[in-house]
């Protein structure tokens, strides 16, 4: 097999598991009705089920990197895929709310290692000059997972039931994990010897303290917190919204929800390219895009229920098109911190987004429950348009907070500015 083809195949297997990991993020929104029917669930409970993934992901993010450094990507990603597959099977077999929560948490636990592991394989099998491209391709592949979690998942649920759908996903995940363990190697044949030892726990803690003490770390962290709080809740509740407000069945509602992910699939890499090569700025496009998203959220809240379905779908497309701002979070965090701590800085900024989803999905479910009028459709709660307007109005506030926080970011111009002096007013003129 040609070396380049083998490199792409080696990268593709852990990336496939990352696609499945990303698939699980919006999946509860598509099966929200079925979960309500099976577990007599409220909106708050559906939100908490979804959030369990993000709790696990956020809590295990740093340990996941340490495990990959210590034991290699093949072993850790394969094990993570197996854990993720078992979690999906547990969700499908759950007969109690506690078992459902546990299965979802286990899914998030296994998913944590997939993205870092795919990047670790890319770094070992490809030239350093191609790492940026591979990083973008890996992240974009994740968006494909969110596409599969819309209409394709809805069709699978219609054919096999929600339990059968999770059993299928679990079996496919276990097969992917087995292939990863069998075929993937941590480095190409004839490459470098044993990998250098990963950082010690003490070194990670010391680097983490430097990053957390840096005031320029917090604007991207908090901005991403609010961006992903809005995005995560949109992914969770847009299918129920289109079903309850516009009378769509679940497959058609999921097909409508797919429009946002399709637009984001193009917008995310394009935003990175434009930032790197055209405007050569980070803060400016971040502020512009989050500002546009804030305006679009306000339009969605205002028009929901009165705007025809085609207009709502157009707004969802525009939200996806303007949604690429999040990809700039990681380079901004990296470029305002010491180069040697780039990985820690990116991990901290990334943590902000997962905390945003974890801490807001349950409360947004409570917002919907508080405005529920008692309507049931096939044993599941159906929320009025006013409930969704209120919940999405909170999301509009999240996005406005992200736009305002972006004003506090330091412009990097695409280069590391940690040691660079900040521009300021000129000092007093020298005396003659």
pLDDT value at residue 70: 80
DSSP H or E segment with residue 376: strand 376-377
- List, for residues 328-380, the tens digit of each pLDDT value: 898 898 899 988 887 788 788 889 999 999 999 999 999 999 999 999 998 89
Range of weakest confidence among 131-135, 186-190, 256-260, 285-289: 131-135
pLDDT tens digit sequence for 225-255: 999 999 999 999 999 999 999 999 999 999 9
pLDDT level of residue 2 (50, 70, 90 thresholds): low
Phi, psi dihedral angles at 382 (to 5 degrees):
-115, 120
Please give the pLDDT value at position 198: 57
Residues 297 and 108: their CA atoms lie apart, in Å, by 28
Contact by Cβ (8 Å): 115, 21: yes
Strand partners, 320: none
Regarding predicted confidence, which is higher, 50 or 143?
50
Q: Is the pLDDT of residue 202 over 50?
A: yes
pLDDT at position 140: 83
Confidence of residue 305 (pLDDT cuts 50, 70, 90): very high
Rounded to 10 degrees, the C-alpha dihedral 248/250/251/255 comes to 70
Q: Which two tokens stand for residue 15?
A: 């990336």
Q: Does 428 score more than 60 pLDDT?
A: no
pLDDT at residue 149 in the model: 93
Per the structure block, which two tokens stand in for 48?
């908490």
| Average pLDDT rounded to a whole number, residues 269-295 | 91
Looking at residue 206, its pLDDT comes to 84
The answer on pLDDT for 431 being more than 80 is no
| All domains of the chain in start order, with CATH | 1-187 (1.20.1250.20), 199-417 (1.20.1250.20)
- Residues of the chain above pLDDT 90, percent: 66
The model scores a pTM over 0.75: yes
DSSP assignment of 13-71 equals HHHHHHHHHHHHTTHHHHTHHHHHHHHT--HHHHHHHHHHHHHHHHHHHHHHHHHHHHH
Confidence check: pLDDT of 3 > 90: no
**Residue 131 DSSP SS3:** helix
What average pLDDT does the chain have? 90
């Amino acid at each position: 097999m040609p070396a380049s083809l083998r490199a792409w195949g080696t990268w593709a297997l852990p990336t496939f598991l990352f696609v499945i990991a990303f698939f699980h993020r919006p999946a509860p929104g598509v099966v929200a009705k079925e979960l309500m029917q099976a577990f007599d669930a409220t909106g708050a409970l559906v939100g908490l089920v979804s959030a369990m993934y993000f709790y696990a992901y956020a809590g295990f993010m740093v340990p996941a990197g340490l495990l990959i450094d210590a034991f290699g990507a093949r072993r850790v990603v394969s094990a993570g895929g197996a854990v993720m597959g078992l979690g999906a099977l547990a969700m499908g077999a759950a007969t109690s709310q506690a078992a459902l929560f546990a299965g979802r948490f286990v899914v998030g636990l296994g998913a944590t290692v997939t993205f870092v592991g795919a990047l670790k394989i890319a770094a070992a099998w490809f030239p350093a000059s191609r790492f940026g491209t591979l990083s973008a391709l890996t992240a974009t592949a994740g968006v494909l997972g969110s596409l599969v979690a819309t209409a394709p998942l809805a069709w699978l649920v219609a054919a096999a039931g929600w339990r059968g759908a999770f059993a299928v996903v679990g079996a496919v995940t276990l097969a992917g994990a087995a292939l990863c363990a069998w075929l993937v190697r941590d480095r190409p044949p004839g490459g470098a010897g044993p990998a250098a030892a990963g950082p010690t726990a003490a070194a990670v803690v010391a680097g983490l303290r430097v990053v957390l003490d840096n005031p320029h770390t917090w604007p991207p962290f908090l901005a991403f917190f609010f961006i992903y709080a809005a995005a995560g809740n949109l992914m969770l509740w847009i299918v129920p919204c289109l079903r309850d407000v516009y009378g769509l069945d679940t497959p058609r509602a999921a097909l409508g929800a797919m429009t946002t992910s399709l637009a984001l699939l193009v917008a995310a890499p394009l935003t990175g390219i434009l930032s790197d090569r055209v405007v050569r700025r980070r803060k400016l496009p971040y502020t512009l895009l989050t500002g546009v998203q804030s305006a679009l959220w306000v339009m969605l809240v205002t028009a929901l229920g009165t705007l025809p379905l085609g207009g709502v779908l157009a707004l969802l497309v525009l939200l996806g098109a303007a949604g690429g701002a999040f990809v700039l979070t990681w380079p901004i965090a990296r470029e305002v911190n010491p180069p040697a701590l780039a990985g820690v800085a990116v991990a901290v900024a990334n943590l902000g987004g997962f905390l945003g989803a974890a801490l807001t999905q349950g409360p947004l479910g409570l917002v919907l429950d508080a405005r529920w009028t008692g309507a049931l459709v096939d044993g599941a709660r159906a929320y009025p348009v006013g409930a969704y307007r209120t919940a999405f109005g909170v999301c509009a506030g999240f996005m406005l907070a992200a736009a305002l926080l972006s004003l506090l970011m330091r412009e990097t111009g695409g280069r590391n500015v940690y040691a660079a002096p900040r521009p300021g007013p000129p000092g007093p003129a020298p005396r003659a």
